[in-house]
Amino acid sequence: MTAIDRARTVAVVGTGTMGQGIAQVALLAGHPVRLYDAGPGRAREAAATVGARLDRLVEKGRLGREDAAGARARLHTADDLAELADAAIVVEAIVEHLPVKQQLFTALEEVVAEDCLLATNTSSLSVTAVAGPLKNPGRFVGMHFFNPAPLLPLVEVVSGFATDETSATRAWETAAAWGKTPVRCADTPGFIVNRIARPFYAEAFAVYEEQGADPATIDAVLRESGGFKMGPFELTDLIGQDVNEAVSRSVWESFFQSPKFVPSLAQRRLVESGRLGRKSGHGWFPYADAGASKPAPRTAGPQDAPEAVTVVGDLGHAAALVAMMEEAGIAVERVEAGGPYIELPGEGQLVPADGRTSVEYADVVYFDLALDYRGATRIALSASEDTSARAVEEATGLFQKLGKDVSVIGDVPGMIVARTVAMLIDLAADAVARGVASPGDIDTAMRLGVNYPLGPVEWSAALGQDWAYDLLKNLHECCPTGRYAPSLALHRQAFAAKEEGA
């Protein structure tokens, strides 16, 4: 183990919410902690706040009184950077401004010992760039904690271009010794979580901009069918539209305005209007009026279920629907060749989302991806203006018979959950291929950092290694902007899967 010894001092520079949280984590891991802030009196105020948090933990029975007293005794403040000379690690959590961070670490390098690890908690700046002016950038790493640091387990340990392997390992093992779940990644825009999570927001906003569905319906589908804890509209209202949009714009610009990361114009207008979410009283949804109710998702009225259907081909990830229909009393005839689709009595076809649109076919209704078709409580259907009313009604009645709420949306290629998951899988595959992080670390980061029901690599394995490629290839044909063009990594993955299945 190369984790920093608990007897050694941890210095935290910057005493805002994140700095206080990191200090609390190190304190409860047993380290002496020294707080420094350039603002007069702020370090002492922060120390008092951390002490009060320890007291609350005691009151809630989560921390013993002796442990709290010991932690408080190990907490110190510094009025000058020179007082951090004995630190074994300095974690910086100051303003996200590159010259300011560079100036701080250049000064720290003159103060701390040669074996002191220097770490930045930046979430948006290049770790390599922050370390650029240093004499010894090899000991510099990113340690990106998630807010609130005492509660959220994930820490992204980021290696800059010049970071020594021993420094990255020491930071990883130190975070693990502090009770966190560290993941390792290369210095790339957004690191793991903020890079790969962009489609969760971007695809939802795109469906809205395409007039496919309203925010409340999109959120409900992603929660109740996709298994996500929150929808992107309610989540960005909680985060702050300005904050989320700034991250999206930063990642897009850092990737030289790649179409994969194009920000949302609708979100830009929301920020320009001052509707920043909960903190401003209005975002995608209203919050100022305590009695205001959140808009309800669009839910179809009751329809009669078909008495019998024909399942053509292998429904793949939706195969559970066959047994569910039979259990619900719907007679199912099977035809192995062709498909995949469910033929309805009126000769309409109910097809799993595949990146195409209903307008391309005679009488097709698409149904969206579900994390678990048995557990899902809502399913989205899409149809074009030319799709017969009977096909939509029969498809709606079928899923209602299976106990699902049904949201009928516009003719959106790839629907909502399916296109979101396909894009997550694509960005994850690309990140692995480029050496950003391992598949396991990517899945861990997405589950712990943003609470996804599955990591994208796990999702790909569950859906089939060529599922996302096929869907995105079709989507790219519908929308040839480059946004949905499958990555080379996904192409190779799909080709290998097809060769194996041949």
121, 123, 382, 487: which is the annotated catalytic residue? 123
Report yes or no: 407 and 226 within 8 Å, Cβ to Cβ: no
92, 109, 156, 203: which is the annotated catalytic residue? 156
Q: Write the CB contacts of 125 (distance below 8 Å, at least 6 apart in sequence).
A: 96, 98, 101
At position 260, the amino acid (one-letter code) is K
Number of neighbouring beta carbons within 10 Å of residue 321 = 25
Please give the structure tokens belonging to residue 25.
């984590």
* 491 tagged catalytic: no
331-335 and 405-409 as β-strands: parallel, antiparallel, unpaired?
Answer: unpaired
Rounded CA-CA distance 396/306 in Å is 10
CA distances from 383 to 319, 353, 435, 460, 478 (A): 22, 11, 40, 26, 16
Q: Write the CB contacts of 418 (distance below 8 Å, at least 6 apart in sequence).
A: 352, 353, 354, 355, 368, 369, 471
* 123 tagged catalytic: yes
Report yes or no: 121 and 22 within 8 Å, Cβ to Cβ: yes
* 282 tagged catalytic: no
What number of residues does the chain have? 502
Report yes or no: 407 and 300 within 8 Å, Cβ to Cβ: yes
Q: What is the CA radius of gyration of the chain?
A: 26
Looking at beta carbons, which pairs linking 49-58 to residues 24 or more positions away fall under 8 Å?
A: 49/20, 50/20, 50/23, 50/24, 50/75, 51/75, 53/20, 53/24, 53/150, 54/24, 54/27
* 476 tagged catalytic: no
Please give the structure tokens belonging to residue 59.
């009151």
Please give the structure tokens belonging to residue 225.
């069918």
Tokens 């804890």, residue located: 229
92, 121, 144, 159: which is the annotated catalytic residue? 144
482 phi-psi bin (left φ>0, alpha ψ -120 to 50, beta other): left
Q: Is 409 helix (H, G, I), strand (E, B) or coil?
A: strand
Which stretches of 264-315 are assigned E, i.e. beta strand? Answer: 308-312
Please give the structure tokens belonging to residue 155.
């820490």
Strand partners, 408: 381
Would you list the DSSP string of 390-406?
HHHHHHHHHHHHTT-EE
CA 54 to chain CA centroid, Å, is 30
126, 159, 194, 264: which is the annotated catalytic residue? 194
Dmax of the chain from CA atoms? 80
Q: 3-class secondary structure for 147-167?
A: CCCCCCCEEEEEECCCCCHHH
Q: Catalytic residues, which ones?
A: 123, 144, 156, 194
